[in-house]
Amino acid sequence: MEKIWLQSYEAGVAHEIDVTRYQSINDVFEQSTRKFSDKPAFQNMGKILTYAETDRLSTQFASYLQNVLKLPRGERVAIMMPNLLQYPVALFGILKAGLIIVNTNPLYTPRELEHQLKDSGATTIIVLENFANTLELVLPRTDIQNVIVASVGEMFGAIKGNLINFVLRKVKKMVPEYRIPHAITFQAALKQGAAHTFKTVSVTREDTAFIQYTGGTTGVAKGAVLSHGNICANMMQGHEWIKQKLKEGEETVIAALPLYHVFALTINLMIFSSIGSKIVLITNPRDMKSFIADMKKERVSVFVGVNTLFNGLVNRPDFAEIDFSGLKLSFGGGMATQRAVAEKWKKLTGTPIVEAYGLTEASPGVCANPLNIPAYTGSIGLPVCSTEVQLRNADGTEVPQGQPGEMWVRGPQVMKGYWNRPEETAKVIDKDGWLETGDIAVVDEKGWFKLVDRKKDLIVVSGFNVYPNEVEEVIAHHDKVLEVACIGIPSEKTGEAIKVFVVKKDSSLTEEELIAFCRTELTAYKVPRNIEFREELPKSNVGKILRRELRDENKN
């Protein structure tokens, strides 16, 4: 099977990468800062940091951690903020100092935040002031000793920065009161760091770069230990995939997905900074009016998103007003992209959504469609360079071509294991280094993979397997449907029954109309009899619809 999929690679895409090319993420970033020194690296709300400026500021931050806080090598440092200029400065500074990053969702509840900080053993945190009140509630029960508080406006200069902070604090009341003694501002940390000389830390591929927490969909959230080598490998795999279509130092990339999520972290931040792109940081993509206004100012060449983000944009009239003449690549991941959404996106932007597949435990990239596809394929494409994929039955044997099986992955991007959880690690990584993904896929005669569903999302109706993605795909095609999620619920008659949750695009939509539509597209046992209309669906921090929450609500 491997030979079949290798024959399907685009011309010029190497089958293997040289995993020894870089020693660390720091090595990659240093090369970028030398090569693209004066080019724009990160842009947010009109403010631009060049690669040289990002390097200088991140070194100042590394110096603060090293010389002022005196953090020992391997100490864990949490970052708790949305997409702001401080994020890449803090990230590269932490890595330069030989420390480990714990990416933290700023929207976490106190319970979720406490678990992650305690589990990782983080002793230092950089937090946006808008979320410092949540941190205050849990601090006494964590190992946090050092708190660095950032503000939205502090990177924009005195006049603009003070105005932004005044509006957010006093007018919009978006900064709840908090009291954290001994906290220091991000700007003060940079200033103190600049007063000392930073001593370069030797970091290797084996050193841990991130403890990246999974969403907890299989129980308590676990920290995937991602090494510098893991991330560098996935960077090189991604670069090998895109190098034919994109040019170094010339691309403008929209970073709307939060960088604390592994998909955006590796794709938006790591891969595109390695080729000298300008990365436009969108702090609040839910404010689509401002988001679209920002896009209108740019000649965007790359857009990275998930299905719900694509869907939200294409359903806004002002999205069609953007000039897409420079758009070269639309990249989708994080969840399955629905055909109806992909078709609207292609019609409006002129570019297809190139779907990729990955998971936190693989840094995250595993498979991707070739960039030369003319339209949506419905598949996740081919394994990226230096990556093996097997589809296995429950007994561990490989399934025949064309039959669904669970994906197992092996490659240099696969995590070292779960942080302080050897038993959990042993459950998902076998003795030969294969990672169990929990995802069901099929492979065709060309070696292209198509994701069928999550193993745990499988619905069994009277002994027949029903995959929620298929049901959702059909319903999403209905003109009056905006969003849909499908789960299985207990049924005395059939074991499980199908239930769908729908957000209407047109208020006239009825249950009867939708069921009748499904009957024209689905076999009888796949047709949902239970339909619940909602104003919105629960989503993760990157906009992935959370079936798990819907299942939890419908257990009884």
Q: Output the pLDDT for position 215.
A: 56
Residue 72 pLDDT > 90: yes
Predicted confidence (pLDDT) at residue 77 exceeds the cutoff of 80: yes
> What domains can you pick out in the chain, each with its CATH number?
20-340 (3.40.50.12780), 458-553 (3.30.300.30)
Q: Give residue-wise pLDDT tens across range 489-540.
A: 988 788 889 999 999 999 999 999 999 999 988 888 899 999 999 999 999 8
Give the start-end residues of each E strand in 196-284: 208-213, 223-227, 252-255, 278-281
Q: Which of 57-61, 518-522, 550-554 has the highest mean pLDDT?
A: 57-61
Return the pLDDT at 1.
66
| Alpha carbon separation from 318 to 55, 85, 255, 305 (Å, rounded) | 37, 27, 19, 18
> Rounded to whole angstroms, how far apart are CA atoms 203 and 73?
10
Instruction: Grade residue 464 by pLDDT with cuts at 50, 70 and 90.
Output: confident
Per-residue pLDDT tens over the stretch 242-270: 999 999 999 999 999 999 999 999 999 99
Half-sphere exposure (Cβ direction) of 129: Cα atoms closer than 13 Å: 22
Mean pLDDT in residue range 291-320: 95
pLDDT of residue 455: 75
Q: Note the pLDDT of residue 223.
A: 96
User: What tens digit of pLDDT does each residue of 15-43 get?
Assistant: 999 999 999 999 999 999 999 999 999 99
pLDDT exceeding 70 applies to what percent of the chain? 98
Asked whether residue 216 carries a pLDDT value surpassing 50, the answer given is no
Which residues, other chains included, contact 385 with Cβ-Cβ below 8 Å and sequence gap of 6+?
A: 13, 14, 15, 16, 17, 236, 237, 240, 241
Among the ranges given (46-55, 92-101, 307-316), the one the predictor scored with the smallest mean pLDDT: 307-316
- Burial group, residue 502, by CB count within 10 angstroms (0-12, 13-18, 19+): buried
Residue 305 has pLDDT above 80, yes or no: yes
Average pLDDT over residues 370-387: 93
For residue 368, which of 401, 327, 326, 411 has the smallest C-alpha distance?
411
Please give the pLDDT value at position 322. 97
Segment 104-121 mean pLDDT: 92
Res. 88: pLDDT tops 50: yes
Tokens encoding 239: 């670069």
Q: What is the pLDDT of residue 217?
A: 37
| Segment (H or E) for 548 | helix 547-553
pLDDT of res. 452: 87
pLDDT-derived band at 232, boundaries 50, 70, 90? very high
CA-to-CA distance for 521 and 341, rounded, in angstroms? Answer: 18
* Cα–Cα distance, 403 to 417 (Å, whole number): 29
Q: Is the pLDDT of residue 556 over 70?
A: no
Pairing assessment for the beta strands 47-50 and 40-44 based on DSSP bridges:
antiparallel
- Tens of pLDDT, residue by residue over 362-374, are 999 999 999 998 9
Neighbours of 330 (CB within 10 A): 24
Closest CA to 371 of 383, 362, 381: 381
Strand duo 252-255 + 278-281: pairing: parallel
Name every residue whose Cβ is closer than 8 Å to that of residue 334 and which is 6 or more positions away in sequence. 257, 261, 263, 306, 307, 542, 543, 544
Tokens 């939060």, residue located = 258
pLDDT at 218: 43
Least confident of 213-217, 305-309, 336-340: 213-217
Residue 85 has pLDDT above 70, yes or no: yes
